Amino acid sequence: MGIKGIKGIKHLVVVAAISLLAVACGSSPAANDAGGSATGEGDGHGHGAAPPPPAPLRNGERFQEIGLERPYQPTPPQGGTDEYRCFLIDPKLTEATYLTGTQFLPQNAEIVHHAILYRVAPAQVVRAKNLDARTEGDGWQCFGGPGISDGAGRGDGGGDSWIGAWAPGNNETLIGELAGYPVEPGTHIVLQVHYNLLATDGKPGPTDQSTVRLRMISGTADVTPLHTMLATAPIELPCTPAESGPLCDRTAAIEDLVKRTGVQARQTVQALDAWCNKGKDPVPGPTQHCDLPIQKPALLYAVAPHLHLLGRSISVELNPGTPGARKLLDQPVYNFDDQSSQPLPQPVTLNPGDTIRITCTHDAALRSQLPQLKILKPRYVVWGDGTSDEMCLAMLIATNKV
């Protein structure tokens, strides 16, 4: 998942690179994880146990369940093994509301790689409905992001529209005493689901009818407003010395990625390289990082990681190389099956002029070890939407009420 010239998770990439931490987010003093997490090194299979029972409702909160109206059979495009599908959902909100928690409930965890909830403002609903109506079947294909941008950057999948996300091991996390994402009356929700069909070699087969449990409270309540920021870094992972083949060429690999997921994929790779490498040519290697400047004050409460199956480690550091440097997230052994949000022991203040550095290490040798990836041809790996591609992404949950 990730940021773009560009849209969506991919868009996240570019947006993250360019203006990611320019926007503040929200929360309250303490964070408490309402869910459990798996332990041990994951292999991308099974996605762990079912989510735990929800934490009790707090005063004024209510649950509402939304989801797919009927089973959906994902069909990857152009010979790929992944599909990103967006489903437009009307939660029928008649008053201002805060979304204080979400729990995605995958009906078919064997094919669901991750999911994101995007807020669709009332002014964007008609555009989203038109996109849905002119697409055959339920929802629409949406590699990168929802694809409902109004031309001013709103609705393209940037962090400002994220109101929830799920990946294996990521259960509902309640931030502070009472904090949530503000949602206007008339707002719709786009549920973007990444379906992974590596097991069927991209052929249609399994269906899914996932749902989401929303935790909500009136907009008149005393709630700290939340916002999600996205930190991303490029991927430049060459084939191992033991591997060979046409897709070990970077240019050929990017062309294959574009064929499988769309032209925005090239834009994302280019934007990440331009921002993170400061205009220099990318240097192939297992470890890559990116520095992102803070432009507005924020108070940070939690960080959640996202890499794919070749991920080995991820860290997020504040002001690296300075006397005040501190790790906000440090996972030297990344576990695909535990991508849970990590609440900080104490909220951390982010000031203009600060720098966030995200660093990820990937291991191409895992391709020959993991059952899901053994069937694939060796390839040079860059940032991409597919399960066989890679990401280096951290979601930062914060508030601008500093």
**Which DSSP helix (H) or strand (E) runs through 360?**
strand 355-362
- Lowest mean per-residue pLDDT among 109-113, 214-218, 239-243, 288-292: 109-113
The answer to whether residue 30 scores a pLDDT higher than 50 is: no
What DSSP string describes 30-53? -EEE-S----S---SSS--SPPPP
Helix (H, G, I), strand (E, B) or coil at 382: strand
| pLDDT for the residue 49 | 63
356, two tokens: 């966030």
Q: Looking at residues 382-395, what average pLDDT do you find?
A: 95
Residue 50: inside a domain: yes
Residues 122 and 257 in one domain: no
Residues 30 and 92 in one domain: yes
Number of domains in the chain: 2
Percentage of the chain exceeding pLDDT 90: 73
On whether both 267 and 161 belong to a single domain, the answer is no
Domain that holds residue 31: 8-227
pLDDT given at position 27: 29
Question: Which pLDDT score, from 0 to 100, does residue 346 have?
Answer: 93
Q: Which pLDDT belongs to residue 159?
A: 52
Same domain? 255 vs 139: no
Single out the residue in 182, 197, 227 at which a domain terminates. Answer: 227
DSSP letters, 68-107, are: -SS-B----STT-SEEEEEEEE-----S-EEEEEEEEE-S
Q: What is the pLDDT of residue 57?
A: 97
Query: Do 200 and 285 belong together in one domain?
Result: no
Distance, CA of 381 to CA of 368 (rounded, Å)? 14
pLDDT of residue 155: 44
pLDDT band at 43 (very low <50, low <70, confident <90, very high): very low
pLDDT per residue as tens digits for the range 243-300 = 999 999 999 999 999 999 999 999 999 999 999 999 899 999 999 999 999 999 999 9
Question: Is there a single domain that holds both residue 178 and residue 248?
Answer: no
Q: Is residue 269 one of the residues assigned to a domain?
A: yes
- The predicted structure's pLDDT at residue 60: 97
Q: Give the span between the Cα atoms of 21 and 13, in whole angstroms.
A: 12
pLDDT at 202 over 50: yes
Does some domain include residue 372? yes
Final residue in a domain of this structure, among 203, 227, 251? 227
- Is residue 339 situated within a structural domain? no
Cα angle: 131, vertex 393, 161; to 5 degrees: 35
Within a domain: residue 12? yes
- According to DSSP, the β-strands at 179-183 and 224-225 are parallel
Domain boundary among 198, 227, 256: 227
Q: Is the pTM of this model over 0.85?
A: no
Looking at the structure, tell me whether residues 175 and 194 fall in a common domain. yes
22 and 115 together in one domain: yes
**Banded pLDDT at 15 (limits 50, 70, 90):** very low
Give the CA distances from residue 49 to residues 32, 101, 231, in Å, rounded to whole numbers and listed in that order. Answer: 20, 20, 28
Q: In this structure, are 86 and 188 located in the same domain?
A: yes
195 is a domain residue: yes
Residues 203 and 272 grouped into a single domain? no
Q: Answer yes or no: is 30 within a domain.
A: yes
98 and 172 housed in the same domain: yes
The answer to the question of residue 302 being in a domain is no
Q: DSSP characters for 3-35?
A: ---S-HHHHHHHHHHHHGGGS-----S-EEE-S
Of the listed ranges 5-19, 59-73, 123-137, 170-184, the one predicted with least confidence: 5-19
pLDDT digits (tens, 9 = 90+) for 313-351: 999 999 999 999 999 999 999 999 899 899 999 999 999
pLDDT at 46 over 80: no
- What pLDDT sits at residue 253? 97
CA–CA separation, 175 and 179 (whole Å): 6
Do 47 and 158 lie in one domain? The reply is: yes
Give the domain CATH number at 34: 2.60.120.310
> Token pair for residue 205?
């087969």
User: What's the pLDDT at 51?
Assistant: 77
- In this model, does residue 32 exceed pLDDT 70? no
Answer whether residue 206 shows pLDDT above 70. yes
